[in-house]
A and B are shown apart, each in its own frame.
Chain A
Amino acid sequence: MIKRLVSGLLLAALALPACAAFDVGQLMDDLARHKGGKAKFVEKKYISLLDKPVISTGELTYTAPAFLEKRTLTPKVETLRLEKDLLSIEREKQKISINLASQPEALAFIDSIRGTLTGNRAALEKNYLLSLAGNPDKWVLTLLPSDQKISALVLRITVSGSKNQIRSIEYLQADGDRAVMSIEPLEAR
């Protein structure tokens, strides 16, 4: 009886500060409320092999909770579409479909963005350690892979945004190369 009481108090004590400050749970709730929309993106990939970054631009479309489309317009038209666990890539009349359920590493990678978009904390924490900085108007969420297979590919993912809108995603790859995507919402819903 006493033991239960003590552990109850302990839990309550742990929960107290979380209510006060801006935390991952609150961010996730905000993000989960975002039902989707369209955005422009500019992605720069800094690759050590190349003298200049590779720049691609295009549009993102997101409809909560399971549809995400990344339509690259430059340098080559290419469409990447994610519906539930089916990832399809269309480029130059070619279409590749990948069932992510069969590709755990790719799924973890995709979940970093999908989990953030949908505010699915459980999906994110399955593969990453989360840390949040800033306030609701200007926040930075850092994802550190907890699985060795994933950290062999990517060292850190940094997502930053404002309110329930993601403004940039940065991937730092294990080989030191880096990709930064800035996102500019086209219309707010």
Chain B
Amino acid sequence: MSKAGRAFLLWLLAMLAGAAIVWNSRFTADMSFFLPSHPSAEQQVLVDQLKEGVVSRLLMVAIAGGDETQRAALSRELRGRLAKMPEFVSVQNGESDSQAADRDFLFRHRYLLSPAVTPERFTVDGLEKSISDSVDRLASPLGMLLKPLLPRDPTGEMLELLRGLNAGAQPDSKAGVWASHDGERAMLLIQTTALGSDTDGQENAIKLIRAQFAEAAPGQGIANASLQLSGPGLFAVNSRATIKDEVSRLSTISTLAIVAVLFFVYRSLRLLGLGMLPVVSGALAGVVAVSLAYGTVFGITVGFGSALIGEAVDYSIYYFVQSGRNGLTDWKQRFWPTIRLGVLTSTAGFGALLFSGFPGLAQLGLYSLAGVATAALVTRFVLPQLGQANGQTRDLTPFGRRALAGVQTLRHLRWPVLALALAATATLFAEREHLWNPELAALSPVSQADQAVDMALRADIGAPDARYLVVIDAADRESALRQAEATGQRLDALVASGQLGGYDSPSRFLPSQASQDARRASLPAADQLRPRLQAALVDSPLAAGKLEGFLSDVEQARGAGNIERASLNGTSLALAVDSLLLPHGAGWSVLLPLRAGEQAIAPSAIRSALAGNDALFIDMKAEFDKLYNDYLHEAMLLSLAGLGAIVVLLAATLRSPRRLGAVLLPLVLAVLLVIAGLHLLGERLHLMHLIGMLLIVAVGSNYALFFDRASDEHRLDPETLASMLLANLTTAIGFGTLALSQVPVLHAVGVTVGPGAILALLLAAIFAPRASAA
């Protein structure tokens, strides 16, 4: 077999192996792109909540059209249909029958559930006090609701249970079902069985809701019925669709544009095919590397591929255009070292991202690093075996000559450019407070429109946002519940002092076995209770003889078994407990979501109340902000490290401060001008713009190096300049296409690196040493 054949075969085998790996890779488009890979304890809670938490599984639904009664009927019908499906854990629309099961459960088990049940409560004094309280309460406006309970619950345990529940945050109601504040829409709150991180499951659930709605609506006679839906699940599904759509759209655009440019130059399908070889290899190698290293490939990473196409195609352009006239050996000697240095600076830039704790960024880094390195290697070692471009490419010399003349003219711009750069620096310095977008949400692929719908529905239905959480870890369920009870007592003190509105706890409906045993033991036997009751009611308007129901209920509670998790089945309390009491790996976690009262929650007050306890207080919003600031801080360090690596690399190769300065100056100026330009265009900078700046230096150094090499040789030949212009064009197309993306991560990189690459070339020409004049 010929040498060429062997090289091609080897390449083909590598590609097939790569394709096999890609075939078996897992692609996702979920939030974990943004979640820390090595989270702190607080961040871990955040991550778990986003992936599996109840809030992440809630879908809010609004029904519009028809009149109040028709909407209510449709809401009932939809609930009836969805509630039967295994895809949904709960479907609530405010219908009263759904609350009856909960009330029954609470009343039946009141003596094991009520924290007020102690031995003292069932002494003569305790009974006298609690029963006279209950009688007094009959005078209250709520007395009418309590009166029917009095004969069986004279000590008021049911009220004790309801005391901790939140009665304030209920949605409005019209015609017996939840409605929006303006009354124009019926509202439902749905919890999916699928986890928040299971985008397929969420997509399926959303489809089911829409399909059932479409089937149910005509039956209720509403012609203009419409459904609005929101929630984290929808965000995940929509983001994935956007990313999928964009990956194919952007890759197609950039591939077509680049292919058109290359075909114009190569004028040969064979060369065009060969020219794409390094790119395809690079893109495949990128996905393979990410898949092998992380197990999962983010859609956004693949979307980044269109930029890589533009960057990787450079190498084959250099090869074909530069080796076209003088042959392979000459190319290897004169050009390859410069290209190699350019590749190395690019990999140094991309490589810096590998160390990011932001998994999305680390993936982009690895993907680009592997892609660029592979493309360069394929260009150097596979392409020369497969073909040369002798005489086949369009003769770019005239074009190069004109460009050379242009370069001479550009040199007059040195001082104006320096003045412009000074102005840019001044602008950026003056505006330094307003440059950055301080929120992680800036990176979120969720559209503004979706966010607006979400805000509106959330306000209408009062969906929990669970910003403040207390989290407890324990070895088993029983100790988790015991700790929840102990922590709850500390929180009770804050509720009593008004610093806290309230909190939820799984132990409210599923007390620890220890508490249940203690409460049962507090209940006296009937022959003890009866005389005590007689004594307690001597002066009361309530005759002991009317409380037989109470005596028998207490007796029954003494004999009943403990409440287990299964006892809750069929009530919405089961859902409440499951969402707050979670098994994980080695043990159990308890979540206690906090509610603000009249005053806002003061984290310091909560922390000091919990001091000495293992419970962890978490402010989710603060954690998010901290997470983003950590990323930003880290990205700055990484960018500086990447820049440092590039400078060291260049310094070591160029061995001349003057030459190093000449290479770096255009790059630094390009970054300055791009950032100032973006700011003036109203773009608020975030993490990915910062990364874009690093990439301008990494990618742009190629051009500066060619000018430097040219000055070294005291000439810049037209072909080389033409190949640089061509390579620059494809790079700008590749990155520039990303600027069209609606995904902020990709958009920011595109909008920074696209113009940055062009500027880097122009500035490198403007500031190229005079000696290089042809």
List chain A positions with a Cβ less than 8 A from chain B.
Answer: 43, 45, 47, 49-52, 54-56, 70, 72, 75-76, 78, 80, 89, 91, 93-94, 96-99, 101-104, 153, 173, 177
Contacts and interface: CB of A to CB of B under 8 A. Distances in A.
B141 A89 contact: yes
Nearest to B162: A96
Interface in B673-725: none
B600 to A, nearest CB: 16
A76 B541 CA distance: 17
Contact of A78 (B140, B151, B546): B140
Contact of A54 (B139, B168, B176, B543): B139
B64 interface: no
B542 interface: yes
Contacts, number: 71
A104 B176 contact: yes
Nearest to A87: B141
B138 A45 contact: yes
10 contacts: A49-B150, A51-B542, A52-B541, A54-B541, A70-B141, A76-B136, A89-B141, A94-B163, A96-B167, A173-B144
Contacts of A72: 139-140
Interface string B540-559: 01110010000000000000
Nearest to A76: B136
Contacts of B176: 104
A153 B147 CA distance: 12
A47 B150 CA distance: 11
A52 B172 CA distance: 39
A99 B172 contact: yes
Interface in B59-84: none
Interface string B128-160: 000000011111111110010011000000000
Contacts of A89: 140-142
B94 interface: yes
B173 A104 contact: yes
Nearest to B167: A96
Contacts of B142: 89
Contacts of B541: 50-52, 54
Contact of B139 (A45, A51, A173): A45
Contacts of A45: 138-139, 143
Contacts of B138: 45, 47, 50, 54
Given A45-B143, A97-B167, 7 more contacts: A45-B138, A49-B150, A49-B151, A51-B543, A80-B141, A96-B168, A98-B170
Given A102-B94, A104-B176, A50 B136 contact: no
Contacts of A78: 140-141
Pick the 3 closest A-B CB pairs, nearest first.
A102-B173, A56-B139, A50-B541
A171 B177 CA distance: 28
Contacts of A103: 173
B174 interface: yes
Contacts of A76: 136-137, 139-140
B496 A93 contact: yes
Nearest to A107: B173
Nearest to B141: A80
B147 A49 contact: yes
Nearest to B170: A102
B147 A47 contact: yes
Contact of A75 (B136, B141, B150, B170): B136
Contacts of A177: 147
Contact of A102 (B139, B140, B172): B172
A102 B351 CA distance: 59
Contacts of A55: 139
B171 A102 contact: yes
Contacts of A96: 167-168
Contacts of A47: 138, 147
A51 to B, nearest CB: 5
B163 A50 contact: no
Nearest to B547: A49
Which of B139, B151, B167, B174 is most buried by chain A, counting CB atoms within 10 A of its CB?
Answer: B139
Nearest to B497: A93
Interface string B511-551: 00000000000000000000000000000011100100000
B130 to A, nearest CB: 13
Contacts of B144: 153, 173
A46 B137 CA distance: 14
A103 B168 CA distance: 13
B728 to A, nearest CB: 64
Which of A55, A97, A153 is most buried by chain B, counting CB atoms within 10 A of its CB?
Answer: A97
A99 B174 CA distance: 12
Contacts of A43: 139
A173 B546 CA distance: 20
A19 to B, nearest CB: 37
Contacts of B135: 50, 54
A50 B542 contact: yes
Contact of B174 (A54, A93, A101): A101
Contacts of B151: 49
A104 B172 CA distance: 10
A158 B335 CA distance: 103
Nearest to A53: B541
A78 B138 CA distance: 12
A43 B142 CA distance: 14
Nearest to A44: B139
B170 A99 contact: yes
A47 B144 CA distance: 10
Contacts of A52: 541
Given A49-B150, A173-B144, A177-B147, A75 B139 contact: yes
Contacts of B173: 101-104
B136 A101 contact: no
A135 B138 CA distance: 35
Contacts of A49: 147, 150-151, 542, 546
B474 to A, nearest CB: 30
Nearest to A153: B144
A91 to B, nearest CB: 7
Contacts of A70: 141
A97 B178 CA distance: 17
Contacts of B168: 96-97
Interface in B227-271: none
Nearest to A98: B167
Which of A55, A75, A76 is most buried by chain B, counting CB atoms within 10 A of its CB?
Answer: A75
A80 B144 CA distance: 14
Contacts of B546: 49
A47 B147 CA distance: 9
